[in-house]
Amino acid sequence: MPHRLRSATFLRLLTALLTAAAWHAAPAHAAFLAGEALDTAANVLAWVVLAVVPIIVIAVFWIVHVLPEKIAHKRHHPQRQAIQTLCLLSLVFGGLLWPIAWLWAYTKPIGHKAAYGTDKHEDYFTEALEKARAGQLAEHEVAQLETELDEMQARAALSPELRKQWTELRAARAVPAAQGGSA
């Protein structure tokens, strides 16, 4: 019983202390500023919310919606223009089409290589041919590029510009081979 008596006394004492603390508490203030400073802070916050936040939200929205297009460009996706169009349509429709563009940018079309002989965008070959002309590609890389372009030529899948560049590369590679063989 003495234990019960001690806990009851403790509870009474605790209640008395909390009641006294509640009655003697300092008044609460809604803000740390007062008067003119509070009005100035409210005006600055209002301008930030009304002017700066929408600009940031629009910029982030735009950046996020351009990401699939950038991914498709980096991965040399053969349907990059279609992904770009889907990204622009997604902007018009409030972002509803964006997940489709994101998924499309990370996938390669299955039948594209069978139909066109490659699963890369035409710009990939243009960049590779420029590097080959500048001598920035190893011999095996140039041979692989030629093989792939030969396969595309056999399917008549080369654009006129790519065909011209391919012909120039073959002619440039044939000249040193002919000079090396006759010397």
pLDDT of residue 179: 60
d(CA 76, CA 123) in angstroms, rounded, equals 7
pLDDT of residue 5: 58
| In contact, 23 and 15? CB cutoff 8 Å | no
> If you search the block for the tokens 């396969």, which residue do you land on?
151
**Amino acid making up residue 71:** I
- 79's CB contacts (< 8 A; 6+ apart) are 72, 104, 109, 112
Instruction: Enumerate the domain spans of the chain.
Output: 46-107, 116-182
d(CA 92, CA 58) in angstroms, rounded, equals 13
pLDDT of residue 55: 94
Please, what is the Cα angle at 146 between 140 and 147, to 5 degrees? 90
pLDDT of residue 183: 45
Ordered per-residue pLDDT tens for the chain, 183 residues: 566 657 778 888 888 888 887 777 777 666 677 778 888 988 999 999 999 999 999 999 889 889 999 999 898 888 889 999 999 999 888 888 999 999 999 988 777 766 666 777 777 777 887 887 777 878 888 788 787 777 777 777 677 887 887 787 777 776 665 565 554
pLDDT of residue 160: 81
